[in-house]
Structure 1
């Protein structure tokens, strides 16, 4: 009888030893993957910043007039700055406070200064939940931007902003790149943005009350004129019955602590 238990004991001992070795190997593998993931996230953040920088530089260079023998091309300059006269139909009551530029099919991702637009999405005009008097929320809209990490605002973080269709109701999502468990979502862009700002305010490194102002649509990039121009090119744009016109964006608000990582750092130092 004692021999039977001794054999069972030896068997269990070997199993425990095997599990310990396997667990140690898995722990080493997890540590290695976490280190690689951290490096990859840093590289992604760096590449996004470089992409925004180079696209902005390319845009500024392409905007300069061509020069030949020290003089700008007169015909080119005249054509570029000649006024455009648009003939409006008096019966149209749909406001057009954003200039529509009909060009070739846009290439994505598209740099919108501080936002990188990956997908414009689709306008659901038949459902009034996906537009208001001042905003249009296309389903499938995806954009990324750099802002402060919700748990450590002193570090930069890439956020993915999405608009989804949740059973006929828009669902807005703000997803931190290195914290997939901390997704902010809600039925409005302001709700998502407010949750993100509240999380930053609760961070241990924040010692004062930061004067945040909730600007969900601006954070998502929906207030950018390029985004609005692309939306106006969608045939479903004129079928949004409740829409009256895009809200006018305050340029100075782009430098507020709720949108700018650099401005936010001034309250943390």
Structure 2
């Protein structure tokens, strides 16, 4: 009798755990089905993300092609303007100086001596010092550009080491005998100085260094004057307001489209780096978790 009672108790305990096991299996089965449904939803969302990224890549390429066409058109217009007589387009210096002074006061705060107050914040460009025009040395100016000694600016541009970040670059023009010395110093590595006799050479070296360090292959034309900030209308207005500019024998005047060069070149060059960074990240697609095996059902 005692043995029979013990067997009944053991059966009752087993039945209790069997019911718990059945409920646990049902719960696990529901979780498996729910997980499968979530995997399907994630796969659909990722397909949509891939589609949107491909559309974005297409639009980026379209925009870059348009920028390239615009740069060609601007270059062609500049070549046409350079072939035209310059005497008819130049205005008397006093009238031009008064006009530049009025334009300068509208865009830059002036001190008590009507001199610009520094620094001058121009968005991605900041002018720390305009420097001094060296008119008695021919290599410190060209027909269309002035390279003032002591000029210092800061430009926001693609990082020299990290393609996903931007970096501030200090640009300086200093005296180096008969030729000016142009320097580009990245904030990310202040000991790394890019120096050369022309701004284009410095900018070309910077682009090459960025390509080598970040593994990119951007074929961009060097735009040294733009990078240093010499094409900005505020800078040209300050330089034109100086009486020393008329002493520069080779200088014939800034191109009338200088402000367009600054706007279009700035958008194109910076956007080229941002576009390449965006496209280079398209390969990163989240992995979809594998669906659970049928043995679990």
Aligning the two structures, in what range does the TM-score lie when normalised by the shorter sequence?
Answer: 0.5 to 0.7
Alignment deviations for residues 204-257 of structure 1 (CA, whole Å, 9 cap, x no partner): 442xx3131210000000000100000011110111110112133333222123
Contact kept? 2:129, 2:153, Cα under 8 Å: yes
Given candidates 99, 106, 117, the residue that maps to 1:107 is 117
2:227 aligns with one of 209, 219, 236? 219
Matching residue of 1:169: 179
The structure with higher relative contact order (CA 8 Å, sep 6+) is: 2
1:252 aligns with 2:264: yes
The equivalent of 1:241 in structure 2 is 249
- What is the TM-score when the length of structure 1 is the normalising length? 0.60
SS in 2 for 1:185: strand
Quick one: which of 237, 242, 249 aligns to 1:229?
237
Q: How many residues align?
A: 179
Structure 2 residue runs of 5 or longer lacking an equivalent are 1-87, 106-113, 282-297
Report if the CA contact (8 A) 1:124-1:138 is conserved. Answer: yes
Tell me the secondary structure at the aligned position of residue 100 of structure 2: coil
Describe the superposition over 1:93-145 as per-residue Cα deviations: whole angstroms up to 9, x where unpaired: 99969950244321111012321000000000111110001100000000001
Over 3 Å counting, the alpha-carbon distance change for 1:161 and 1:95 in structure 2 is farther
1:158 to 154, 168, 189: 168
1:198 paired to 2:208 = yes
Decide which structure has the larger Cα Rg and report it. 2
Provide the residue aligned with 2:55 in structure 1.
none
- Give me the TM-score of the superposition, normalised by structure 2: 0.54
For 1:259 and 1:192, the matched residues in 2 are separated by 20
- The secondary structure found in structure 1 opposite 2:264 is helix
More helix by share: 2
**DSSP 3-state at the match of 2:144:** coil
